[in-house]
Amino acid sequence: MTDANPPASLREELGAPADPEFELELPEGWARHDVAAETEQRMLQAAKRRLMEAHRPDLYAQLKAQLEESFAAMRKLEAVAHFGPEPGAPDWAFLPASLIATIRTPQPDVSLQQEMAQRIREGATALHDDKRFIRYERETDRMIGTDAAKQRTVVYLTPIPGSKQARALQLTLVITRGAEFPADDPALVTMLRLFDACVATLRWAR
């Protein structure tokens, strides 16, 4: 299990109660990470070592650009955590997937409860019949370097206890695959089931 324990926010500095921590079971070899610059550099160094050991230093520039873009995006979203392989994880733990945690607040004139209800009308469903969560997904085309790819994004939303439906934890899963692989590719289906199962284990600290 891993604990999500974000740093003090402006809300806390103003005297608002901190959001409760949560626990989440992850794929073997995965861990929780923050979005600090030190973490980014540590991940870059680990990636560089792996590529050198695999005799593929030519891939480092591309991976570095992708990782820097990912960290910049997470900071812009004010992510409280992201989840991925831990240092020294085995090769099979390096999935073409990312999972980040952010805090969702209501839009002006639309409560969080109303937004979640609208998502359900648009096709969102409960996660494994657990009505604490709603789950919805989308698929988009993108380019990775010169290669065409497909990106499946799955969003899981659950209200934060004690927030009176004013704040929600959002877990966003992104899985990337080659454009030649169909939407029902067995590897993709397996990863979707794996992360659905992981998110379903979420428990809030009392």
Q: Which of 145, 126, 146 is nearest to 136 (CA)?
A: 126
The predicted structure's pLDDT at residue 3: 45
Distance CA 199, CA 169 (A): 11
Distance CA 111, CA 136 (A): 18
The predicted structure's pLDDT at residue 180: 94
The predicted structure's pLDDT at residue 9: 54
Phi, psi of 80 (to 5 degrees): -90, -15
pLDDT in tens, 109-142: 888 888 888 999 999 999 988 888 999 999 999 8
pLDDT in tens, 150-167: 999 999 999 999 888 889
The predicted structure's pLDDT at residue 8: 46
The predicted structure's pLDDT at residue 34: 93
Q: Quickly list DSSP for 129-177.
A: TEEEEEEEEEEEEEEETTEEEEEEEEEEEEEPTTSTTS-EEEEEEEEEE
Q: Which of 83, 1, 86 is nearest to 35 (CA)?
A: 83
pTM of the model: 0.85
Which residues share a beta bridge with 34? none
Q: With a cut of 70, which residues of the chain have pLDDT below it? A: 1-16
Domains in the chain, ordered, with CATH? Answer: 2-35+79-204 (3.40.1000)
The predicted structure's pLDDT at residue 7: 46
The predicted structure's pLDDT at residue 79: 94
Amino acid letter for position 174: V
